Amino acid sequence: MSSLSLPGFARDAHGKPIIGTTPEDLYAYGHLIRSSELLVLDQFSRGLVSGTTHTCLGQEICAMAVVRALTHPEDAALSNHRNHGHFLTYSGEFVGLVAEIMGRAAGACGGRGGSQHLVWRHFHSNGVQGGMTGIGAGLALARKRQGSGAIVAAMIGDGTLGQGLLYEAMNLASVWSVPYLVVVENNGISQTTEPHQNLGGDIQARGAAFGLQTWRLDDADPAFCEQAAAVVAQVRESQRPGFLVIDTRRMGPHSKGDDLRDEAVLAAIRARDPLVAMGQRLPDAVRAGIEARNAVFLDAVREVANASPEAVYDDAPEHIFDRAGELQGAQPTYPIVAASSSVRLGINAALNHLLATYPETLLLGEDLHDPYGGAFKVTQGLSSAYPGRVISTPISEAGITGAAIGLALDGFRPILEIMFADFLSLCMDQLYNHAVKFPGVFPQVAVPLIVRTPSGGRRGYGPTHSQSPENIFTSVPGLTVLFGSQRHDVARLLVDAARRWPYPTLFLEHKLLYGETMDSGDYEVLAADPDDLAAHLFPTLLRRRPDVDLTIVTYGGMLPVVEEAALRLEDEEELRVDIVVPSLLSPLPRRTLLAHLLNSERVVIAEESHHEFGIGAEIAACLLEAGFAGQAFRIGTPPVPIASARSLERQILPDADRLIEDILDNLY
């Protein structure tokens, strides 16, 4: 970071500025923040900044008040798109912020995050409204479990009160009784929308409804910062969640030039300006001295940021996975699973082993506790054996996904169960915009998260409990997707995912395989190409036949269907069939698959998921790009809802009869 010293302020042992509550300190630091915001806007006008930015002009004192009071070294601050004041108060990195917004190498995040997406120690910000609130609940749970006395503060705007995730997060914080302060910066305008158009009821009552301690303050009150510090102290002392509403006003536009408010409204906001009022409490000479000192500092900030070269990758990244992270630490031990164990018992044994061996392992999900043990009994017995570490949660898929991300950010190894894979749609923002973005944008941040979920149909559960959504999630950059079969050692797959692959991972389990016996049969492990990320950890299996006529690629719950079809093709049609079964769907082990598939004359990819834009399409594209001269085609589920009636479901999902018919139609 920058070597520039903050004018008039010391830092604590961890680099955070020490800002008192005297008018001189508050005006001096607030003036630094405002001057830096004006500098950024000036850089825009000079064509030195691209993209967008959201300044906190008029809200500097509001932005400082809570963050300056986060004095414990493990206190965390979470922010949003209007994050500059929070970031500067937490980090003091003025050069880092300005250079980051300019896209320069000296930026706080090397130009990868820009204005909205910043990390500095325990400060995280993201541009999705309310997206950090569930993560904050997880970070606060981590601090409660660690007993550090630290707290988490999440800053949101009043516009975020329309986001459902916020209420899931507040409920989690209340149920778990964690040290979590939700701060609503109520500036009275949601981009361009007035509160009467988007806000019903009372703001403060929202916190009280969840049993949170609630407060309402005004940043124009001369005692505001002392009052905010008292709120932080109360949350810290009680180690319980709180909800603080701060009435403030945004003086600038939403971003750069989209302010549609009447001039009379803006004039009233300028007349109210808490920073100007703070400065007027100082003698003129003191105020002038502060402003002159800050001007010199900001000139130096501009000079250093301008001199920094544009941010450039040494090599443009092709993925977020750091190869050194694949085998981090010692190779784990594995559970001893009886030879006749079912897939369900194998997964249960893996979870038991992880809980017994690694104290940072936590399980979260709905109805995991005994005697129920989860909807498919996968966690049966574990809550009794490990009290407090198997956490049955509210029905809040987005919220608990965010909480699991927060736990992962803070050193835990959470394994989250989503009751049905269909409900992953409720988790999408947390996975797509948060879990995979953090390690992708901030290389120093790890999110070792596993999301387990039962997938697939053939049980008559109907349109919203029978889907196989892996084709959606393999398209999420940076999300690892695993789907084992009864021929894989699923216990080993899960342990390796939990201990040797520190990236967000979706671990799919087909419902019909839970009762199947784990048995590798006559399958061998296909040699993993060393250039295929994680292919050696999550193997591809091969059932090999001599003088093969046809190779079928499949995975997960389609394998029993494919095995039945292959047996009948061999017995009835005298066709010799190889079966290739990857457990790793993303990142796809392309080279490992191609090494075998390119030797086949005919390749069929069979999947239970909708085959349009699916796994089969990707494998077929790989074959085409590699110059495959043979015949390749896909068999899967058509793009229609899965009916509940078993007779209708059988017509939709591909079975052995359908596979045989389609294969023979394509061969002859």
Query: Which of 100, 131, 128, 94 is CA-nearest to residue 113?
Result: 100
Please state, in angstroms and rounded to a whole number, the distance separating the CA atoms of residues 635 and 566: 14
- Rounded to the nearest 5 degrees, what angle is found at the Cα of 594, between the Cα atoms of 593 and 599? 115
Using CA of residue 331, residue 335, residue 337, residue 341, what is the dihedral sign? negative
Beta strands in 329-423 (DSSP E): 361-365, 390-392, 413-417
Is 465 tagged catalytic? yes
Nearest of 157, 153, 170 to residue 206 by alpha carbon = 170
- The active-site residue out of 86, 122, 369, 465 is 465
CA distance 299 to 296: 5
DSSP letter assigned to residue 342: B
579 three-state secondary structure: strand
Q: Rg of the chain over CA atoms, in angstroms?
A: 28
8-12 LR contacts (CB < 8 Å, sep 24+): 8/290, 8/293, 9/92, 11/92, 12/71, 12/73
Question: 206 — alpha (psi -120 to 50), left (phi > 0) or beta?
Answer: alpha
**Which is it for the CA torsion 520, 523, 529, 532, positive or negative?**
negative
Task: Provide the token pair at 287.
Answer: 């105020």
Taking the C-alpha atoms of residue 604 and residue 586, their distance in angstroms, rounded to an integer, is 19
Return the amino acid letter for 81: H
CA 661 to chain centre: 42
Per DSSP bridges, beta strands 540-543 and 524-525 are antiparallel
Closest CA relative to residue 83, chosen from 75, 74, 96: 96
Q: Where are the beta strands (DSSP E) in 345-406?
A: 361-365, 390-392
Please state, as a whole number, how many other Cβ atoms lie within 10 Å of the Cβ of residue 349: 20
Residue spans of alpha helices (H) in 312-342: none
Diameter over CA atoms, the chain: 98
CA 111 to chain centre: 20
Catalytic residues: 465
